[in-house]
Amino acid sequence: MPHRSNKSVTKHPQETIAFHDDPPAAKSGLILSVNAGSSSLKISLYRLTESFRNAYDPSPTSDPVQLLLTSNVTSISSPPASFSFSVSDSASASLTLAPNTQAKKQPVDSIKDHATAFSHFLDYLKSQANIGREQIVHVCHRVVHGGDYFEPVVINQESYQHIERLSDLAPLHNGAALSVMKACITALPQANSIAYFDTSFHRSIPPAIASYAIDQTIAKKKGLKKYGFHGLSYAFIVREVGRFLQRDQSTLNLIVLHLGSGASVCCIRSGKSLDTSMGLTPLNGLPGATRSGAIDPSLIFHYTNKAARMSHDRSQAVEVHVTMAEDILNKRSGWKSLTGTTEFGEVVNGMKAYDEKVVAGEQPGENTCEAKCKLAYDLFKDRILNYVGSYYLKLQGQVDALVFSGGIGERSVELRHDIIKGMACLGFGIDEEGNKSADDVGGVVVEITSGEEKDESSKRVLVCRTDEQLEMARQTALQKKFWIPDDANKPGVEIKANKELAQEVQVQA
């Protein structure tokens, strides 16, 4: 892939994105990790640790980067947006902070989209933490769909347009990521914008699992196959679970549940992805807050037909465009369509209220809020167990651990309990008290395996606090091509021109 040159992409007649030649950076520079959701923006700022800067030797037990601060912007599409800003305890002493630096869910009327959200963050960073834009040397962007890009890429004209073309396959995320990339390139012209793809982790999936039973000539021409998603999260989890179990990650067989408003399951054999529930797009697999998950492909035609039932009468048919199908299945389905809420915590509360009424001898009607939440909860649990059972067989029962992660996986005591209860026949057990108190236990990985099951040969049950921003920053730190060599400033060493260095720092697609 060519390095970033002084070229531009014209999006609209009056909108041009200018790309720049960027050299490798000094190790004193900062790394910004950006995770753009459909209506949110998560940002983390890191610096290389002193020991890593001096030795450039990654330790198996520590990260090469130190977290300085985090920021979170929510409700971007339904103003007023909410802005949060928090400085890491370990870094506060080394930063020049203004009084009352922390911000928690402050309403900000000036935030209208992802670009203005990013601009607000940069202004706040300067005014409250005295960190200027010129100190940021690399910006890492989480991109949900990378297509056939299997490695991180520096954003240039070609890679930007490639990601833009893939937006149709990840409509809830790729567009937001592109908006932030554009804002970064404009606001931080001296920094490398680097795209990290959720699909990269799944490049190890075998053809027989990744392929669909359709004409392969057409499939290969159009790239129609299973790609898989949440890859940055899974890469982080495999490494952290390996550390926790004191095992080389290449020896690990795991079933990992990344459960959030977007949810997936991954079957990991020898530290690599063997299969995952999402497919060509994030729509397949488990249901989510607004996604349907796996359905019969013909359902959408029945769903939109004007007749009370499916009819081949052309007068009753509705022409279903891709955009209509995507809108229904991506944005108007999931547990929101079943219950009216996207908050899984509310679904759990409704389910518990239903069960309490049944125990008391009542039978809530199917149209009650409690019954709707019960259906949504049981449906989600059922679909998770479908994948877990399948992946257990694919690993031939050789499973080192079942791992819960993501916002729901890390916080829902009830769902963890019910999933492990459903897996008791496979030899999994859960520590009830440990499960209830997992939130109060420090560390990245928390074990909730039942006491009688916990030994070196047992099937462990773990909770992993995944961190996609840290995973991107870590990978950036470990790429020597992104940093000026230590001996570049030593006497007698020729320092190459920026453009020549930029050619060396390019990341091949």
Residue 22 pLDDT grade (very low, low, confident, very high; cuts 50, 70, 90): low
Q: Residue 296: helix, strand or coil by DSSP? A: coil
- For residue 101, tell me if it sits in a domain: yes
pLDDT reported for residue 475: 96
Using 50, 70 and 90 to split pLDDT, how confident is the model at 246? very high
Q: Where are the alpha helices (DSSP H) in 262-304?
A: 299-304
The answer to whether residue 13 sits within a structural domain is yes
If one compares 494 and 27, the residue with the highest pLDDT of the two is 27
Give per-residue pLDDT as tens, 340-363: 999 999 999 999 999 999 999 999
Q: What is the pTM of this model?
A: 0.88
CA geometry: angle 95, 99, 101, nearest 5 deg: 65
Asked whether the predicted pLDDT for residue 409 surpasses 50, the reply is: yes
Cis ω before 99 (30° cut-off from 0): no
In a domain, residue 186? The reply is yes
Q: Which tops the pLDDT comparison, 304 or 395?
A: 395
Q: Which of 21, 89, 113, 198 is catalytic?
A: 198
pLDDT band at 506; cut points 50, 70, 90: very low
Indicate the range of 263-267, 278-282, 470-474, 482-486 predicted with least confidence. 482-486
**Tokens standing for residue 21:** 């030649």
Q: Answer whether residue 158 is part of any domain.
A: yes
pLDDT digits (tens, 9 = 90+) for 24-77: 999 999 999 999 887 889 999 999 999 888 876 666 667 899 999 999 999 998
Residues 180/291, Cβ–Cβ less than 8 Å:
no
Expressed in angstroms, the distance from the first to the final Cα of the chain is: 6
The residue with tokens 């020991």 is 51
Q: Is 54 exposed, middle or buried (0-12, 13-18, 19+ CB in 10 A)?
A: exposed
- DSSP symbol at 25: B
Residue 248 in this model has a pLDDT that exceeds 50: yes
Q: 160 or 110: whose pLDDT is higher?
A: 110
Is the residue at 386 inside a domain?
no
Q: Kindly report, residue by residue over 144-188, the tens digit of the pLDDT.
A: 888 888 899 999 888 888 888 877 666 666 777 888 899 999 999
69: in domain: yes
In whole angstroms, give the CA distance from residue 285 to residue 289. Answer: 13
Q: How many domains does the chain have?
A: 1
In a domain, 226, yes or no: no
248 annotated active-site: no
| pLDDT tier, 308 (very low <50, low <70, confident <90, very high otherwise) | very low
Inter-axis angle of helices 369-394 and 413-422, nearest 10: 50
Structural domain harbouring 136: 8-197+484-505
Give the bridge partners for 25, in sequence order: 483
Angle CA(264)–CA(270)–CA(272) in degrees, nearest 5? Answer: 45
CA 351 to chain centre: 27
CATH number, residue 169: 3.30.420.40
In angstroms, how far is CA 273 from the centroid of its own chain? 16
Q: Is 285 left (phi over 0), alpha (psi -120 to 50) or beta?
A: left
pLDDT at 220: 95
